[in-house]
Amino acid sequence: MSPFRPAHVEPCGSWLASDSGGSACISAGCANAIAGKPAPTVSAVWRLFVVGLMLLLSACASQAPLPAGNPTLPLPLQLHIERQQAEQRQDWLLVIQREGPGIRWSMMDPLGIPQARQQLIDGHWQADGLLPPNPEARELFAALLFALTPSGELQRNYPAALQQGQQRSLPTRWDIRYSQPLSFELNLPQGPHYRVSPLDEPTP
């Protein structure tokens, strides 16, 4: 009969740890790893806060300026909008009219297909209908509102505006050059460029 031999007990850990005589087990190693994971520092949280604040401020800065009050506009208006950029031209029809407490802006192409609809109510733009958001159209509408504001109401509604002769501008935003009160060129610093005229006026 063979003599009794106690069962061989493997040391806790991998075979590499056994060969080296180590006794650290996997669970202990995991616990140490979890315990050693660095927690978010105050500086990291502060950086996230600053980044979020900068994004918020940039979003606010990108919103087109609106008048402080309600300028007197000769509504309803039907305007021909000619858009030019990179030697490409587009033509639109814009109808501006009062509707309830606000002003409705409806833009369509020469075939009558709607391109953008917005309502300006209490100094805020609101979507009108189911058309997708159109940031360029909203910028255009805001610029036209600036261009159509009577000269005597300009400084009250746009304190930063500049006006001299047949030219009006909101620095770093819009530049307007008039040939008639309802016929003018609208230029944005990075484009596009627009030519605006009453609908019944012949296009040059």
Signed CA dihedral, 120, 125, 128, 133: sign only: positive
Is pLDDT above 80 for 90? Answer: yes
- Confidence label for 184 from pLDDT (cuts 50, 70 and 90): very high
Read off the pLDDT of residues 112-130 as tens digits, 9 standing for 90 and up. 999 999 999 999 999 998 8
- Confidence label for 200 from pLDDT (cuts 50, 70 and 90): confident
User: Which tokens in the block code for residue 26?
Assistant: 């996997």
- Confidence label for 203 from pLDDT (cuts 50, 70 and 90): low
The model's pTM: 0.69
SS3 content of the chain, % helix, strand, coil (to 5): 30, 30, 40
Is pLDDT above 70 for 93? Answer: yes
pLDDT at 9: 44
Query: For 170-186, b where at least 16 C-beta lie within 10 A, e where not — what string?
Result: beebbbbeeeeebebbb
Rg (CA), the chain: 33
| Cβ-based neighbour number of residue 169 at 10 Å | 17
Is pLDDT above 70 for 58? Answer: no
- Parse the chain into domains and list their residue ranges: 77-198
